[in-house]
Structure 1
Amino acid sequence: MNKEVRVGVATVIIRDGCILLGERIGSHGSHTWATPGGHLELGESIEECAQREALEETGLVVDSITKLGFTNDIFEKENKHYVTLFVVASCKAGEPRVAEPDKCKQWKWCRLDELPHPLFLPLINLLEENPSLKGFA
């Protein structure tokens, strides 16, 4: 096991009762569905990271960011360990685009009761630990 625990920030973008999910490629969790997100950088606030990652990955500008919770995610096969900080954000305008084609195959808006499979481990853990997510979408 890698001796380093990384901090990830995941942005749950909500619009019209749906959340935005992307199909991951090229990294751990490849071919699973996840929210926009990435590594928290030194000196960066969680909100700044959420905004930066959403813009870098989808081209969307998010606001109204609120903290949702965190998960402890151990990727045994990949030998990685993350603590993922989840935030909820809104995005009133624009449609997501694949801005990092080496990391994401596609983006789509998904209803919470019709999520694609398989989901990315942190999102699975969030939904298991925090069923109140249904109150956000």
Structure 2
Amino acid sequence: MEGSEAVPRVGVVVFVIKENTVLLGKRRSSIGDSTFAAPGGHLEFGESWEECAARELKEETGLDIDNIEFLTVTNNILLEEAKPSHYVTIFMRTIMADPCQIPQTLEPNKCDGWDWYHWNDLPKPLFRPLETLVLSGFNPFPAPEI
């Protein structure tokens, strides 16, 4: 890797929670093509994580959200990709402002479509940052109140 490509980038991923499912789509990209991932994208200069999550989700799915919160962060070095890259991935969680909203595929050149999946029955293959998180035992759902 050379020049500006050799620097890590920051990605923000949004787990949209609906009952006991999460929203995932099949990627169409030079990085992670044909893998399943949650909505998200690159953090822009001066943008907060929450602003990035809301913007990316709206651009990709048309969904409006409430109660966005930080979950965790992963460090992902993707050397086996056609375009090797290094991403610091920030994972956020949210719910839809209107639970009756239906996600739209607003960037069909980047995603084949959105669907809801149970956390214990995710589609394969997963995009590497998501796979890393799943294999670590992470769970994006809030802990049940006692």
Taking structure 2 as the reference length, the TM-score comes to 0.88
Query: Pairwise CA RMSD of aligned residues?
Result: 1.6
Q: Look up the match of 2:125.
A: 118
Distance of aligned partners of 1:10 and 1:56 in 2 relative to their CA distance in 1, 3 Å threshold: same
Which stretches of structure 1, 4 residues or longer, exceed 4 Å deviation after superposition?
Answer: 134-137
Aligned to 1:89: 94
Between the aligned residues of both structures, percent identity stands at: 44
Using the TM superposition, give the Cα deviation of residue 53 of structure 1 relative to its aligned residue in structure 2, in angstroms.
0.3
Secondary structure of the residue that 1:133 maps to in structure 2? coil
Cα contact 1:7–1:83 (8 A) shared by 2 = yes
1:101 aligns with 2:108: yes
1:79-137 Cα distance to aligned partner (Å, 9 max, x none): 10000000001113301110001000010000011100000011011123352435469
Query: What is the CA–CA distance in structure 2 between the aligned matches of 1:53 and 1:32, rounded to whole Å?
Result: 18
Answer yes or no: is the 8 Å Cα contact 1:18–1:111 preserved in 2.
yes
Which protein has the larger Cα radius of gyration, Structure 1 or Structure 2?
2
Structure 1 gaps, min length 5: none
Say whether the 8 Å CA contact 1:18–1:109 is kept in structure 2.
yes
TM-score (ref. length: structure 1) = 0.93
Greater CA deviation, 57-66 or 36-45? 57-66
Is residue 129 of structure 1 aligned with residue 136 of structure 2? yes
- Aligned mates of 1:30, 1:129 — CA distance in 2: 22
Shift of residue 48, structure 1, vs aligned partner? 0.3
- How many pairs does the alignment contain? 137
